[in-house]
Homo-oligomer: A and B are copies of this chain.
């Protein structure tokens, strides 16, 4: 049951993946607003009340009818009768008839009759008389009901990430709970006879597994919840068992290793044995990441990435992350890009879309320069740890010349971008 390996181009692979998976939010759940940080809003939020809900004073002073103060000035105050006090946090118990003034503090509701507030600094209270030394216009020092948020206004949209300011807006509307998209669960496992789980003893001839840890973390970074399953041998029966368990308990499975053309690379056959349609991408004409294999099994996506840590994490970034983001209801953001200049001439691998890891730096004229990270071998985890991002070279492009303007897809924020 050998799987036929026909390399797809990068664009073809992306198309097949998008068509087969149609990533969309899995489900909606209602959670406490306090737990909603970094979650994705699942519905438009419309204000059910005005913010503020009533006309409020923005200063400490006296609530008056503005026209009663007309003509008041430093040398010629207007005298009004003190008519009571308006407290903050409760409906006014008094009204303000013509010729009177009510004491009021910041945030308190404007009492009936009043239409402006004179600041306390511009008044003198003497027995029952309030002397006003400054005229005010209608609505002066009044924050009108609905002036911040109008009842019926859509204040947040489905798909928005909830950070401190969005959560502040929801709190303002009195919402203690919020509907968000469920977090996709993603199983992560590594395969290979030579790899050993970190924390265990390392027999001679073996190396520690990197991918199950780095890919689990990458799942978190993409808005998913990883199920770390550890390391499995290149054994079809064991892998079948592990993958069945993974598919039963999660929404997506990511494996690494076992996808090259070697005799022990049993992953494609194993995937095809588990359900229909099975393998839908079996190798992509890219560098690195050529053996990347993708399957759809009983409607669950399985991504089988190369064993080399740098390749695995790059392919995750290019192909898997957008699907997890889609399932999480996040905008399927492309990798963020910055405009730079190539430090040296860079060649693609013949006929393959090529991704070159680069670091960013500023040159003497303050231009942003992209400098390839010495690749060594794609097994090198340090290659990736040193890179700020990557440059993409088209399969039909001859080269990118030194000094040529080129976009860098960022792995992370970089201080070079800031002033």
| Residue from B192, B212, B382 in contact with A107 in the complex, judged by beta carbons closer than 8 Å | B192
User: Is B381 a contact of A148 with CB atoms below 8 Å?
Assistant: yes
CB of A367 closer than 8 Å to a CB of B: no
CB distance from A238 to the nearest CB of B (A): 15
User: Is A376 a contact of B221 with CB atoms below 8 Å?
Assistant: no
What 0/1 readout, one digit per residue, does chain A (194-221) give for beta carbons within 8 Å of chain B? Answer: 1111111011111111111111111011
CB of A52 closer than 8 Å to a CB of B: yes
Chain B residues lying within 8 Å of A194, measured Cβ to Cβ, are: 88-89, 107-108
With A37-B220, A194-B107 as contacts: A419 and B337 at CB distance below 8 Å: yes
CB of A278 closer than 8 Å to a CB of B: no
User: Is A377 a contact of B49 with CB atoms below 8 Å?
Assistant: no
What 0/1 readout, one digit per residue, does chain A (385-419) give for beta carbons within 8 Å of chain B? Answer: 10000000000000000000001000111000111
Query: How many copies of this protein are present in the complex?
Result: 2
| Residue from B109, B228, B262 in contact with A106 in the complex, judged by beta carbons closer than 8 Å | B262
CB distance from A78 to the nearest CB of B (A): 24
With A106-B262, A163-B217, A194-B107 as contacts: A89 and B148 at CB distance below 8 Å: no
CB distance from A389 to the nearest CB of B (A): 12
With A205-B91, A264-B105 as contacts: A382 and B148 at CB distance below 8 Å: yes
CB of A53 closer than 8 Å to a CB of B: yes
CB of A60 closer than 8 Å to a CB of B: yes
Interface range, A side = 35 or more
User: Is B168 a contact of A54 with CB atoms below 8 Å?
Assistant: no
Chain B residues lying within 8 Å of A170, measured Cβ to Cβ, are: 198, 213
CB of A167 closer than 8 Å to a CB of B: yes
Chain B residues lying within 8 Å of A173, measured Cβ to Cβ, are: 198, 208
Chain B residues lying within 8 Å of A199, measured Cβ to Cβ, are: 174-177
| Residue from B33, B106, B107 in contact with A198 in the complex, judged by beta carbons closer than 8 Å | B33
With A168-B384, A338-B419, A418-B336 as contacts: A176 and B148 at CB distance below 8 Å: no
Chain B residues lying within 8 Å of A411, measured Cβ to Cβ, are: 165
Chain B residues lying within 8 Å of A162, measured Cβ to Cβ, are: 217
User: Is B172 a contact of A208 with CB atoms below 8 Å?
Assistant: yes
Chain B residues lying within 8 Å of A205, measured Cβ to Cβ, are: 54, 88-92, 108-109
User: Is B88 a contact of A313 with CB atoms below 8 Å?
Assistant: no
CB distance from A141 to the nearest CB of B (A): 10
User: Is B109 a contact of A412 with CB atoms below 8 Å?
Assistant: no
Docked Cα-Cα span, A365 to B61, in Å, equals: 49
Chain B residues lying within 8 Å of A19, measured Cβ to Cβ, are: none
Docked Cα-Cα span, A52 to B336, in Å, equals: 32
User: Is B87 a contact of A376 with CB atoms below 8 Å?
Assistant: no
CB of A339 closer than 8 Å to a CB of B: yes
CB of A319 closer than 8 Å to a CB of B: no
Docked Cα-Cα span, A119 to B164, in Å, equals: 56
Docked Cα-Cα span, A286 to B215, in Å, equals: 46
Chain B residues lying within 8 Å of A212, measured Cβ to Cβ, are: 171
Chain B residues lying within 8 Å of A240, measured Cβ to Cβ, are: none
User: Is B217 a contact of A37 with CB atoms below 8 Å?
Assistant: yes
CB of A58 closer than 8 Å to a CB of B: yes
User: Is B37 a contact of A89 with CB atoms below 8 Å?
Assistant: no
Docked Cα-Cα span, A331 to B209, in Å, equals: 30
A145-177, CB < 8 A from B: 147-149, 155, 162-177
A residues contacting B by CB (< 8 A) are 33-34, 37, 49, 51-54, 56, 58, 60, 87-92, 105-109, 143, 147-149, 155, 162-177, 192-200, 202-218, 220-221, 228, 260, 262-264, 307, 309, 313, 336-339, 376-377, 379-382, 384-385, 407, 411-413, 417-419
Nearest 3 Cβ contacts at the A-B interface: A176-B199, A168-B214, A89-B194
